[in-house]
C-alpha cells in the first residue's frame, strides 16, 4: 500500500475578508495523479498556492501535512526544497537569458555545479538534452522570443535537472494557450514524471485534457471540496453530471436576440489531413461555439475559415453567395475577422506602437508617410473608451496585459467593415474582469448585426455565451447542441471525445 504524500486537514483561507477556501480535506498518495476540477474562480488555484508557498503558513487556518510532516512554508523556495513544484498558468522564466541559460540557471535543488558551467558547456548540454527529447530549438535563442508552448516545455525540462525528482508536481491549467504542436511533447514529459514516481496534482476545468492519466478526480465549487471520484473511468457519467450542475449562466452576460439571415456557410470542408467533411451555417446575431479535445482541429478550422490554412475541398458561402477563401486577404475582403489565440507571436506587431497596431489593417495598412494624424488619435481614443482599454497610444504591446492585448486586437478589427468574427481561445489566460469585458464586447457586436464563431476548449465558457455548440472529433463535427435544448447542452461532456 502506498504512503500518504499529502493531507489537507480542515484548511480554510480568507483573502480581503472574502472566504476563498472553506474547510478543505484532501488526501493524496505517493505517485497518484489527481485531477482537480472546478469552474473559474472556484478556488482551485488558491488551494495549490498554499502548497507552492505563495500563501505561507499562518495565512490559512487548519493544517497541511506533506510527506508525514506538518508543512511550514514561508516562500516558494521552501516548497521547492521540500520537493514541491508548482507551475502556474503563466510561465516564469528569465526572458533576458537564453534557453540554455534558463535550463542551467541557479535554481533551488539544481545538480551540483550545473549553474557554474561555462556558456559553451550549457549549450552543449542543452543540445544533448534536446536530441534525447527530439526538440528542434536553438539553445542560444532568448527566452523572450519563444512562444507559450516552447516556454512551457523549457519550464518542465528544467525540473529534470534537479538532483531528485519532485515528490509532488502541481500543474495549474498548464495547457492554456498551448498549441496542438506541443501537446505530444508535453504529455511525454508528464509521463516521465509519472514513471519517476512523482505525485501530480493537475488543476483544470477541462476534463478531456488528462482523463487518460487521472487515477482520481476531485471537484471544487465555491471554495469547497464537493466530492472525490476514486474510479473516474467507471464514474464518468457522475463526473459529467456534477460538472454540469456547477455551470451557471449568470456568470456570462448573454443577450437573447432574434436570429437573423444566413451570413456564412461551410459545405464539406476538408484539407486532406486534419479536417474532414465540415459543414455548418452561421446566422446574423448568433454565436456558434466549436469545441473538442485538444488536437481535434479547432484551431486549424479557425485558420481555414480565415484562409490561413486553405481548404483543399469544400465550398464557402457568404451572404448566400459562393465565396473563394484561399488567403487572409480574401477573408478580409468578405468582411471576415480573425482574432488569434497567439496574441504575441501572430497577432500583434511588437515593433510598432499600440496606435500603429490598431491601424494596421484594411484601408489603414498603407497609410503612407503621414502617420499618427489627429484623426487616428481621435479614433484610437474613441475605441479605447468603447473597449474599456486604458493604455497610451504610444505603448508597446509587449508590455500590455493579456486582456489589454486582446482588446487591442479587437480594436484593429472594429475599424474595418467586418461582420463575421472568428475567435480562437478568446479569453485564454485572461483574468475574470477582462473575460467579462470580452463577453460584453460580443454582445456589442451582436447588437450591430455581427455573427461570431468561438473556437474554445473552455466548455463552461461556451455553454455560457453560445447559441449553438459544435463538437469536433478527429476533424469531423460529431455533435451539435442548441441553447434552446437544455438536454443537448447538458450532454455535451459526453460528446467531446472522452473514452
Question: Which pLDDT belongs to residue 244?
Answer: 57
Other CB atoms within a 10 A radius of the CB of residue 256 amount to 6
Q: What is the mean pLDDT of residues 117-127?
A: 90
Residue 475: what pLDDT? 86
| Separation of alpha carbons 254 and 262, rounded Å | 21
Give the mean model confidence (pLDDT) for residues 26-51: 87
List all residues 6 or more positions away from 316 whose beta carbon is below 8 Å from its beta carbon: 264, 265, 266, 267, 269, 305, 322, 323, 324, 325
Which segment, 60-74, 249-263, 475-489, is predicted with the most confidence on average? 60-74
Query: Average of pLDDT values for 259-263?
Result: 95
Provide the pLDDT for residue 422. 95
pLDDT band at 366 (very low <50, low <70, confident <90, very high): very low
Residue 410 exposed, middle or buried by CB count within 10 Å (0-12, 13-18, 19+):
buried
Coil, strand or helix: which one is 49?
Answer: helix
Q: Read off the pLDDT of residues 176-214 as tens digits, 9 standing for 90 and up.
A: 656 556 777 888 888 899 888 899 999 876 666 677 777
Burial of 248 (0-12, 13-18, 19+ CB in 10 A): exposed
Query: Would you state the pLDDT for residue 470?
Result: 94
- Per-residue pLDDT at 91: 83
Angstrom CA distances, 173 to 88, 192, 354, 450, stand at 7, 19, 29, 32
Cα angle 266-270-273, degrees, rounded to a multiple of 5: 155
Q: How far apart are CA 91 and CA 80, in angstroms?
A: 16
Q: If you average pLDDT over residues 244-269, what whole number do you get?
A: 79
Express each pLDDT in 391-435 by its tens digit.
Answer: 888 888 877 776 788 788 888 888 778 899 999 888 876 666 677
List, in order of start, the domains of the chain with CATH numbers.
Answer: 4-246 (3.40.50.300), 251-495 (3.40.50.300)
Size of the chain, expressed as the number of residues it contains:
499
Among residues of the chain, what percentage have pLDDT more than 70?
83
pLDDT (0 to 100) of residue 233:
62
Which residue from 62, 32, 29 is spatially nearest to 47, judged by alpha carbons? 62
Backbone angles phi, psi at 119, to 5 degrees: -60, -40
pLDDT at 290 over 90: yes
Predicted TM-score (pTM) of the model is: 0.64
Query: pLDDT tens for residues 52-97?
Result: 999 999 999 999 999 999 999 999 999 998 999 999 877 888 888 9
479, β-bridge pairs: 471
Q: Cell digits for 10?
A: 480542515
Question: For residues 295-305, b (16+ Cβ closer than 10 Å) or e, as one string?
Answer: bbbbbbbbbbb
The whole-chain average pLDDT of the chain stands at 83
- The three three-digit cell numbers of residue 228, written as one number: 472525490
What whole-number distance in Å separates Cα of residue 278 and Cα of residue 471? 11
The average pLDDT across 16-27 equals 91
Provide the pLDDT for residue 249: 47
Q: What is the pLDDT of residue 24?
A: 95
What is the mean pLDDT of the segment spanning 298-327?
Answer: 92
Tell me what percent of the chain is helix, strand and coil, each rounded to the nearest 5: 35, 25, 40
For the beta sheet containing 451-455, the strands, ordered from the edge strand earlier in sequence to the opposite edge, are 336-339, 420-424, 451-455, 287-292, 468-473, 476-482
The residues, any chain, with a CB within 8 Å of residue 361's CB and separated by 6 or more, are 332, 412, 413, 415, 416
Distance set, CA 435 to CA 100, 228, 266, 425, 432 (Å): 35, 29, 29, 11, 5
Q: Please state which of the ranges 84-88, 113-117, 248-252, 383-387 shows the lowest mean pLDDT.
A: 248-252
Question: Which position has the higher pLDDT, 332 or 488?
Answer: 332
Is 291 a residue whose pLDDT tops 70?
yes
Going from the C-alpha of 341 to that of each of 98, 173, 409, 427, the distances in angstroms are 25, 16, 10, 8
Average pLDDT over residues 286-306: 87
Whether the predicted pLDDT of 318 surpasses 70: yes
Which band of pLDDT confidence, cut at 50, 70 and 90, is reported for residue 499?
very low
- Please report the pLDDT score of residue 370 as a whole number: 43
CA dihedral sign of residues 49, 179, 183, 148: negative
Q: Dihedral through CA 460, CA 462, CA 468, CA 472, nearest 10? A: -90
Amino acid at each position: 500500500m502506498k504512503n500518504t504524500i499529502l493531507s489537507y486537514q480542515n484548511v480554510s483561507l480568507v483573502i480581503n475578508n472574502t472566504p476563498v477556501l472553506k474547510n478543505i480535506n484532501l488526501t493524496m498518495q505517493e505517485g497518484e495523479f489527481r485531477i482537480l476540477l472546478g469552474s473559474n474562480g472556484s478556488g482551485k488555484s488558491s488551494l495549490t498556492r498554499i502548497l507552492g508557498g505563495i500563501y505561507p503558513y499562518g495565512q490559512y487556518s487548519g493544517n497541511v501535512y506533506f510527506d508525514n510532516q506538518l508543512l511550514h512554508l514561508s516562500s516558494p523556495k521552501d516548497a521547492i526544497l521540500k520537493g514541491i513544484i508548482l507551475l502556474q498558468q503563466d510561465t516564469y522564466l528569465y526572458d533576458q537569458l537564453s534557453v540554455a541559460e534558463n535550463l542551467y540557471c541557479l535554481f533551488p535543488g539544481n545538480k551540483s555545479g550545473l549553474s557554474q558551467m561555462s556558456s559553451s558547456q550549457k549549450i552543449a548540454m542543452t543540445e544533448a538534452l534536446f536530441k534525447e527529447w527530439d526538440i528542434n530549438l536553438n539553445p542560444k535563442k532568448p527566452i523572450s522570443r519563444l512562444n507559450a508552448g516552447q516556454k512551457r516545455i523549457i519550464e518542465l525540462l528544467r525540473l529534470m535537472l534537479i538532483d531528485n525528482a519532485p515528490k509532488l508536481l502541481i500543474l495549474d491549467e498548464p495547457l492554456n494557450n498551448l498549441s496542438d504542436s506541443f501537446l505530444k511533447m508535453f504529455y511525454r514529459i508528464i509521463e516521465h514524471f509519472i514513471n519517476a514516481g512523482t505525485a501530480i496534482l493537475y488543476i483544470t476545468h477541462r476534463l478531456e485534457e488528462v482523463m487518460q492519466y487521472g487515477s482520481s478526480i476531485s471537484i471544487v465549487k465555491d471554495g469547497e471540496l464537493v466530492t472525490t471520484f476514486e474510479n473516474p473511468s467507471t464514474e464518468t457519467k457522475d463526473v459529467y453530471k456534477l460538472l454540469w450542475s456547477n455551470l451557471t449562466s449568470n456568470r456570462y452576460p448573454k443577450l437573447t436576440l432574434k436570429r437573423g439571415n444566413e451570413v456564412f456557410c461551410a459545405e464539406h470542408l476538408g484539407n486532406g489531413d486534419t479536417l474532414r467533411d465540415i459543414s455548418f451555417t452561421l446566422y446574423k446575431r448568433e454565436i456558434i461555439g466549436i469545441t473538442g479535445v485538444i488536437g481535434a482541429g479547432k484551431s486549424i478550422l479557425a485558420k481555414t475559415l480565415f484562409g490561413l490554412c486553405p481548404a483543399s475541398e469544400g465550398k464557402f458561402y457568404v451572404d448566400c453567395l459562393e465565396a473563394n477563401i484561399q488567403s487572409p486577404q480574401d477573408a478580409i475582403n468578405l468582411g471576415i475577422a480573425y482574432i488569434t489565440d497567439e496574441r504575441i507571436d501572430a497577432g500583434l506587431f511588437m515593433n510598432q506602437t499600440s496606435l500603429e497596431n490598431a491601424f494596421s489593417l484594411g484601408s489603414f495598412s498603407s497609410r503612407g508617410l503621414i502617420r499618427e494624424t489627429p484623426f487616428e488619435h481621435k479614433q484610437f481614443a474613441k475605441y479605447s473608451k468603447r473597449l474599456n482599454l486604458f493604455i497610451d497610444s504610444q505603448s508597446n504591446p509587449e508590455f500590455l496585459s493579456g486582456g489589454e492585448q486582446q482588446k487591442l486586437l479587437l480594436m484593429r478589427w472594429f475599424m474595418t467593415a467586418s461582420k463575421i468574427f472568428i475567435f480562437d481561445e478568446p479569453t485564454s489566460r485572461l483574468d475574470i474582469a477582462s473575460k467579462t469585458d470580452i463577453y460584453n464586447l460580443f454582445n456589442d457586436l451582436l447588437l450591430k448585426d455581427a455573427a461570431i464563431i468561438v473556437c474554445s476548449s473552455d466548455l463552461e465558457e461556451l455553454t455560457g455565451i453560445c447559441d449553438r455548440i459544435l463538437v469536433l472529433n478527429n476533424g469531423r463535427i460529431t455533435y451539435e447542441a442548441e441553447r434552446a435544448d437544455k438536454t443537448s447542452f447538458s450532454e455535451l461532456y459526453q460528446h467531446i471525445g472522452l473514452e
